Each structure stands twice: as C-alpha cells, then as structure tokens.
C-alpha cells in the first residue's frame, strides 16, 4: 500500500508540475550525480518561483532514458546477508539512500572491511567479524536492523541487536521472526531495548516453520538464518515479493541451497560455508513503476533501463 501511495504522489508531481523545493529536487540532484543515470528532457531545467515552489514539469511530456537504481527493499536485506559470507563479495547496483550508508557503517563496526568501488558498487569482506553486537546508535536508525539478527545468528550462533527503529509508519512486530529462530533452536530474549539471540548448541538446526501471517521481513530473516543451519528448513506461508527472490538469488550465488523463493513455500538446505562472489541487485520496481505511470499520464517516450553487472 505504501508503494502505491508513493507512486501516485510522484506521478502527481509529474502531472501537476509542482512540489516544494527539497522534495523531488533532491531526487533529481542525486540522480544527476550519477553519470548516465538520469536524462529526461522534461526536467532538465526546473524552475523555482519566489515562494520556493518548484515547477518541475508543468505537465510536459517526458522524453529520454533513465537507469533504475537498485531495489531498496532488496539492498537492506542483502547487505546484512553479506555477514553470512566467509569470503569477499562484490554487491552492485546499491541504491543511494541513507539506510545503505548506515548499514555499511554497521558492517564496518562489526569488523567487516568495506571497500566502496563507486557510487553503486561495494566490496565486502566479512571474514574477520569481531563482535555480534550491533551498535545501538546506528541500528536504531533502521527499520531493517532486524536482518542483522538472522545473518549474525545464522553464521555465528548469536546476535544482539536493538529493536527496529527508522521511519514512523507504525509498529513493526517481529514475533514471526522470533518464532522462526526459536523453532530452529535459538533462545531469544528482549532486554533493555535489545534482542538477544543464541543458538542452544552454537548452530541453528533446520526445522519446519509456518508463518502465522505473511511477513516479508520474517520470510527473509528466517531464510538468512537457515542458510548455514544444520539440516533442512521449510518455511510455509511465505511472502513472495521480488526482493525475497533477490535475496535468495544472492545467497545462492554465494553457495547457499535455497529453492522456492517467490512461492509460498521455501526450502533451505543448510550448507557449511558461503564463499563469496559478485551479485547485482535487481532494479527497484517502485521507481520503475513511477516513471512508467508518469509517462503514461503526461505522454512522451521514455526508455527505462536496468543496470547490468560490471564485474569482469
């Protein structure tokens, strides 16, 4: 629902051509900073009046091409999932958003080596993680901080992460995440604003997990935790979003054995180790849909492109 509201709001900007300065302008300037990213002629020269209201488009037809950035909801799960990798992984097409910046800082403080290759590609080396306690001041800024639990618990058998923070779109329950972790043999407690988890025998054990409600976060978190578990895990009543499939594809490219992502049943056979590699995050469907809807609304011709891996 939030995605639909966002697309409608942005299309309204394209059609009506009016937005407070600092809104769509920030998106435009960020896009312009990436060579070859954004070249729609209708917004080449936005005009700002004396009241600080930007006339972005004035309903003009759109022409040109745009490269869609990486999917935010995939990136905020794939970056924590790099903690599962006992090797070096290169992740491409990362979106330029604050959540990514915070996650990279968290990974560094946990002991990962982060090498920024360019504005959208990073190289992560998580072979020498020094702690399984995520820094509270950073983790509390993210609604996706709970993905750190599944990744750390899955590889190291323990994790300590503060309760999810971030945007104020209401409470985000994690009961289904906890259900999955405990079913696989973890002990979970919440104390002092932190979620403490530890596998009883130092490693999770595969098990059947049924989600009482369809949850994207729980599906992805349990999938990460199960990737290195001993034995097989079957998650039923799964969410089916594209970023779930992307996370599974990322983990599989690193050596995991995950099948069924995108359906309501996901089967994970735990492996001993993930070894590294290169992966390109899928394009953001909300961003692509916005440009498609805007072009349909105001007319014109826009070529929407996806990013291809730049790895040799």
Give catalytic residues, as residue numbers. Answer: 167
Q: How far is CA 169 from CA 112, 164, 166, 183, 291, in A?
A: 31, 12, 9, 29, 25
Q: Residue 51 CA to chain centroid, in angstroms?
A: 37
Cα separation, 137 vs 142, whole angstroms: 10
Angle at 186 between CA 181 and CA 190, to 5 degrees: 80
Backbone phi and psi for residue 7, each to the nearest 5 degrees, phi listed first: -65, -45
Q: What is the DSSP letter of 135?
A: -
70 secondary structure, DSSP code: B
Q: In sequence order, what are the residues at sequence separation of 6 or more whose Cβ sits closer than 8 angstroms to the Cβ of residue 40? A: 62, 63, 64, 65, 66, 302
What is d(CA 37, CA 271) in angstroms, rounded to the nearest whole number? 38
Give start and end residues of each alpha helix (H) in the chain. Answer: 2-16, 24-32, 72-81, 98-110, 136-139, 147-156, 175-183, 216-226, 242-253, 285-298
Max CA-CA distance within the chain? 66
């Amino acid at each position: 629902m939030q995605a639909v509201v966002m697309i409608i709001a942005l299309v309204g900007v394209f059609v009506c051509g009016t937005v407070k300065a600092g809104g769509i302008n920030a998106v435009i300037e960020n896009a312009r900073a990436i060579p070859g990213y954004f070249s729609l002629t209708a917004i080449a020269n936005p005009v700002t009046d004396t009241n600080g209201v930007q006339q972005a488009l004035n309903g003009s037809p759109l022409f040109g091409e745009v490269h869609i950035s990486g999917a935010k909801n995939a990136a905020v799960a794939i970056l924590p999932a790099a903690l599962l990798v006992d090797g070096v992984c290169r992740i491409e097409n990362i979106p330029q958003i604050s959540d990514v910046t915070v996650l990279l800082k968290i990974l560094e403080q946990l002991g990962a080596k982060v090498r920024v290759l360019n504005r959208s590609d990073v190289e992560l080396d998580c072979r020498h993680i020094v702690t399984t306690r995520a820094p509270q001041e950073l983790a509390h800024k993210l609604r996706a901080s709970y993905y750190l639990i599944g990744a750390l618990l899955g590889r190291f058998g323990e994790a300590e992460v503060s309760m999810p923070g971030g945007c104020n779109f209401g409470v985000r329950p994690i009961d289904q995440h906890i259900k999955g972790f405990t079913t696989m043999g973890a002990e979970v407690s919440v104390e002092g604003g932190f979620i403490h988890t530890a596998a009883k025998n130092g490693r999770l054990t595969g098990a059947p997990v049924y989600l009482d409600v369809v949850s994207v976060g729980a599906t992805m978190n349990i999938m990460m935790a199960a990737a290195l578990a001993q034995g097989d895990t079957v998650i039923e009543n799964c969410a089916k979003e594209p970023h779930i499939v992307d996370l599974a594809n990322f983990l599989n490219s690193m050596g995991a054995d995950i099948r069924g992502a995108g359906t309501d049943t996901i089967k994970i056979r735990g492996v001993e180790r993930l070894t590294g590699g290169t992966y390109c995050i899928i394009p953001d469907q909300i961003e692509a849909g916005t440009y498609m809807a805007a072009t349909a609304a105001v007319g014109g011709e826009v070529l929407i492109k996806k990013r291809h891996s730049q790895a040799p």
